[in-house]
Structure 1
Amino acid sequence: MRDLPVIPFDRRDPLDVPEAYRDLRAKEGIAKVRTRTGDEVWLVSGYEDARKLFADPRLGRSHPEPDKAPRLSNSALLGGPQGEAATEKADHTRMRKLFMPSFSARRMKALSDHVGALVDERLDHLATLTPPADLHAELSFPLPVLVICQLLGVPFEDREYFSGVSAAMADLGDEAKGIAAREELGAYMAGLIERKRHEPGEDVLSDLADELDDDGTIAQLAGGLLFAGHETTVNRINYGVLLLLANPDQLALLKADPGLAPAAVEEILRLAVPSLHGLPRYAHEDIPFGDVTIRRGEAVVITTGAANRDERIFPDADTFDLRRPPGDPHLAFGYGPRFCIGASLARVELEAVFSRLFQRFPDLSLAVPFEELRTNDGKLTGGFAELPVTWSGAPR
């Protein structure tokens, strides 16, 4: 067995990205590494390389010979190949056509006032509490869950159930557990879609109720939307708060001008790396790439968190800067044909939070030392289990 670096690299600070990604990027461009399952993969940590490979039609989420596929982890969601090589492109095109209209930028922008009102409600509730309080439990978690529930047509009162199933889906150590949870969430969504056939509403599941779904694919993808629609945004709220608290000069700018919230959100999206897991792709044919050839069947792991700190694209790449000049967009939502359909929704939610939170609670701070924050180790989406905060005086 060749002696190769093992990914993901360890890090001591959850707000940072290990230097090892930058070192490999500088020395080798894309580099052969080993995953913690023992398989060899190509690591992509450079911005331009990531964009090219995201858009390359010769790479897919499926594998030409699934039984021989290298694995990134034991995650049921992103640990190995998904779908059938022969039908992947057609299936992906169909699903994008089904879901994209519900998540268009125009529709999401129309939600902004409503989402802002929901944020105000959560902050009003927070103001009734005696500090310290868990911002994760009071804002970061319930807000995205409420928004995605309303959008999809999922009962908010089921949040504890599907949050528990989502946690099982995100398990990095037990693939069978993750697969069972994914199937359970798919069955739950199938039941909701069936109910919508008889009791339709103004929501995404009602829009899907008349679609044929013989194999449960639509219901499973809807379950994936429910999972991603709250898990990832929860993390970005938590990380955004921590990044702003760690950069008081930038926080002062935001407090003085809440109109900087969109700029703050883009820096949060660029710099927040709750998980270093990476996104796997598989070569469906040989791909010459620079000085190397990615052979058919080999795995490519795109690490957007490292690519978003590529110093060749982003000057002072590790610096949180609300005044960063416009330039190449970050890759937090991917790039190309699989660009995240929930990107506009996430931006609406994050801008609503960060245009309001520090206006209402200007002296918000951590209630425990940063080093004592508990991280979600062993979970695909990473992040923090809680975010204890405190404040003094009556918030405005």
Structure 2
Amino acid sequence: MTPRLPFARSHPLQTPAQLRALRERGGVHRVRTRVGHDAWLVTGYEEARRLLSDDRLGRAHPDPGNAARTGESALFGGPLGDFETEATDHARMRAMLQPQFSPRRMRAFRPRVEALTAELLDRLGRLRPPADLHRELALPLPILVICELLGVPYEDRDHFRAWADAAADVTDRARSEKGLADLFGYGRQLVDRRRGRPGDDFVSRLLADGVPEDEVAMMAMLMLFAGHETTVVAIGLGALSLLAEPAQWRALAEDPSLIPGAVEELLRWPGKGGGGIPRYARADIELDGVTIRAGELVLLDNGSANHDPAAFPDPDRLDVTRQAAHHLTFGHGLRYCLGAPLARIELQAVFTRLVPRFPTMRLAVPVEELRLHDTKLTGGLVELPVEW
């Protein structure tokens, strides 16, 4: 029987048993997506890494109306872009966005991220435990950061957060489409405001560069979604990973110099439920004894790849001293995540301050009782109750 996604999870941090069993049998497998469409699931590290940089895979499809889908999300559930111009469109978009995440700009922004983190931890410290670390830190920090980068008013956060949640819904197409339309409408309002009152922000700079306004609105809202949602998940699961392994928390408290390397391990370690990065084959591809036909859906499971023992010895063990920077959490190759430097700055700011400030922090409930969002594209924790 063909396995169907998503795989059942018994623990919020561990790789599902069915996914682990598939990876042990090989690097590429036939599966069905949550909407019942056929796809290839790539579970091995070498196979996923190779395909992430293979230009025979893309996000567009020559017949998008009949292409296999991963889910009902209007944002990432199916094909994106124009099949004929995808390569040039992608190169143009990256050329416009790359300067926004230049090393110089990110270095200049780091002190602001650190200050925002310190403010949130000060507020956390004034609370009487237990407290929800998701609500008090993991959620607000990435929103504050992306608001400052894009020039988005922080007081609008409840609106765009609700629209982003709707757009990411993988089970309700109408809700997802409405959320995406609301986000784009908000992006247009933001462009209108910045046209008359430019500032030192992402939207103002793209407008100054002559980028068409609808394109600026679209890119700004994609950045708003991707730039905060994925980092919210990474902070929450990273903190949970350490809290579930108290010896690792203590190791960082005793030696903060380990934190930059530990961040890479925290990006690698949390097990995922299967799926990964969607691509469509633009040509036939031979891989690991199977033939992937042009037009077929390919799911590059970077979470499974990050637990491949061929790439990471004893992969299911969290080790903050591990050299894990070659993980595939941000992808690889030409589509490597442009926001990776910013995500690393945020994660380093969080754990550099959180662990020394709260050396006795612990989970307030058993880890098995924690819930994950199972209808959202990015997943992540619903809450993270802690004590100290």
TM above 0.5, one fold? yes
1:273 CA drift (Å): 4.4
Please give the alpha-carbon distance, in whole angstroms, between the structure 1 residues aligned to 2:325 and 2:351: 23
Against the structure 1 CA distance between its residues 225 and 274, is the aligned structure 2 distance closer, same or farther, given a 3 Å change threshold? farther
Q: For residue 39 of structure 2, what is the aligned residue in structure 1?
A: 41
Out of 304, 327, 333, the position equivalent to 1:306 is 304
Alpha carbons 1:122, 1:138 under 8 Å: kept: yes
Structure 1 stretches of 5 or more lacking a match? 392-396
Q: For residue 220 of structure 2, what is the aligned residue in structure 1?
A: 222
Q: For residue 379 of structure 2, what is the aligned residue in structure 1?
A: 382
Q: For residue 212 of structure 2, what is the aligned residue in structure 1?
A: 213
Out of 353, 357, 366, the position equivalent to 2:354 is 357
Please give the alpha-carbon distance, in whole angstroms, between the structure 1 residues aligned to 2:310 and 2:254: 31
Q: For residue 331 of structure 1, what is the aligned residue in structure 2?
A: 328
Q: Which aligned pairs between 1:242-281 and structure 2 lie closer than 5 A? A: 242-273=240-271, 276-281=274-279
For 1:247-272, what per-residue CA distance to the aligned partner results, in whole angstroms no more than 9, with x for missing partners?
A: 12211110001121111111110013
Q: In structure 1, the residue corresponding to 2:18 is in which secondary structure?
A: helix
Q: For residue 22 of structure 1, what is the aligned residue in structure 2?
A: 20
Alpha carbons 2:261, 2:324 under 8 Å: kept: no
1:377 CA drift (Å): 2.2
Out of 156, 167, 170, the position equivalent to 1:169 is 167
Greater mean alpha carbon deviation, residues 245-254 or residues 350-359: 245-254
TM-score scaled by length of structure 2:
0.96
Please give the alpha-carbon distance, in whole angstroms, between the structure 1 residues aligned to 2:117 and 2:255: 18
Q: In structure 2, the residue corresponding to 1:17 is in which secondary structure?
A: coil
Please give the alpha-carbon distance, in whole angstroms, between the structure 1 residues aligned to 2:381 and 2:24: 31
Q: In structure 1, the residue corresponding to 2:299 is in which secondary structure?
A: strand
TM-score scaled by length of structure 1:
0.94
Against the structure 1 CA distance between its residues 115 and 327, is the aligned structure 2 distance closer, same or farther, given a 3 Å change threshold? closer
How many residues in Structure 1 have an aligned counterpart in Structure 2?
387
Q: In structure 2, the residue corresponding to 1:121 is in which secondary structure?
A: helix
Alpha carbons 1:182, 1:220 under 8 Å: kept: no
The percent identity for this pair of structures is 51
1:28 CA drift (Å): 3.3
Alpha carbons 2:203, 2:216 under 8 Å: kept: no
Please give the alpha-carbon distance, in whole angstroms, between the structure 2 residues aligned to 1:259 and 1:347: 15
Q: For residue 103 of structure 1, what is the aligned residue in structure 2?
A: 101
Please give the alpha-carbon distance, in whole angstroms, between the structure 2 residues aligned to 1:253 and 1:19: 29
Alpha carbons 1:30, 1:45 under 8 Å: kept: yes
Please give the alpha-carbon distance, in whole angstroms, between the structure 2 residues aligned to 1:36 and 1:327: 31
1:40 CA drift (Å): 1.0
Please give the alpha-carbon distance, in whole angstroms, between the structure 2 residues aligned to 1:124 and 1:155: 22
Structure 2 stretches of 5 or more lacking a match? none
Q: Does 1:83 align with 2:81?
A: yes
Cα-Cα RMSD: 1.5
Alpha carbons 1:274, 1:383 under 8 Å: kept: no
